A = this chain, B = another copy of it.
């Protein structure tokens, strides 16, 4: 009958929640994800272990929450007004998606911002950790994608669809695939560290993707 287990979220201590978030982010940044332990987070946050286990199922979940919280706060600071959750970008960079009419320029603007985010040393450790965890743990990966990635990617899709309607993108191109053509190379380079991730690279990717590989008539 009764769930006998669910804690009462109303009584939850906000102070502890924040302290745990901060501790988690700090430790992951300082020591890396592997070396960060739940005991360590609890100790650093001045919190009982049980308080973590009560509200989160895993270290990764704590970190993801902390990351979302951080993103939200950063966005809030940047945007002046708090944004609804869904609109929060992963690093808080883009309050929207530019539409100057010049698709290539707009994409370059956004991809350059993404490059900057991925090169941000503070966020890097956490993002890498969560991505890696999601790669191995499907359930966590789904949450990661849904909560952090999809909202961001949806903006691309919107912009691309607009470009398509304006005739700047071929009708038979699936916007979802177009998006991956742009994001995929960046992520590939960032995740595997094959080569450095620069603004120039972002520009080249946009140009290539837009212009295609083969020569034009």
Copies of chain A in the complex: 4
> Quick check: is A184 within 8 A (CB to CB) of the other chain?
yes
Q: Name 12 A/B residue pairs within 8 A (Cβ), A-sorted.
A: A32-B136, A103-B213, A103-B214, A128-B136, A138-B193, A142-B193, A173-B213, A177-B204, A180-B189, A184-B188, A209-B212, A211-B212
A74 interface residue per 8 A CB criterion: no
Binary contact readout A183-195 vs B (1 if CB under 8 angstroms, 0 otherwise): 1111111011111
- In residues 166-217 of chain A, which contact B (Cβ within 8 Å)? 167-170, 173-174, 176-178, 180-181, 183-189, 191-195, 201, 204-205, 208-217
A133 CB-CB contact with B under 8 Å: yes
> In the complex, what distance in Å separates the CA atom of A191 from the CA atom of B186?
14
Give the complex CA separation of A89 and B120 in angstroms. Answer: 34
Query: What chain B residues lie within 8 Å of A98 (beta carbons)?
Result: none
Given contacts A181-B209, A208-B178, contact A135 B136 (CB under 8 A): no
Given A209-B212, A214-B168, are A192 and B141 also a contact pair (CB < 8 Å)?
yes
Judging by beta carbons under 8 Å apart, are A135 and B131 in contact?
yes
Query: Taking CB as reference atom, which chain B residue is nearest A174?
Result: B204
Contacts of A133 in B (CB 8 A): 132
Q: Is the CB of A136 within 8 A of B33?
A: yes
Q: What total of chain A residues lie within 8 Å of the partner, measured CB to CB?
A: 56
Q: Does A151 contact B (CB under 8 A)?
A: no
Nearest residue, chain B, Cβ from A201:
B177
Q: Give, as a whole number of angstroms, the nearest-CB distance from A202 to chain B.
A: 11
Shortest C-beta distance, A40 to chain B (Å), equals 17
Given A145-B192, A191-B191; A181-B136 close (CB under 8 Å): no
- Contact of B132 with A193 in the complex, beta carbons under 8 Å: no
Are B213's CB and A178's CB within 8 A? yes
CA distance A193 to B146 in the complex (A): 11
Across the A-B interface, the 10 shortest Cβ-Cβ residue pairs: A212-B212, A184-B184, A184-B185, A180-B185, A184-B188, A132-B132, A132-B135, A132-B136, A211-B212, A210-B213
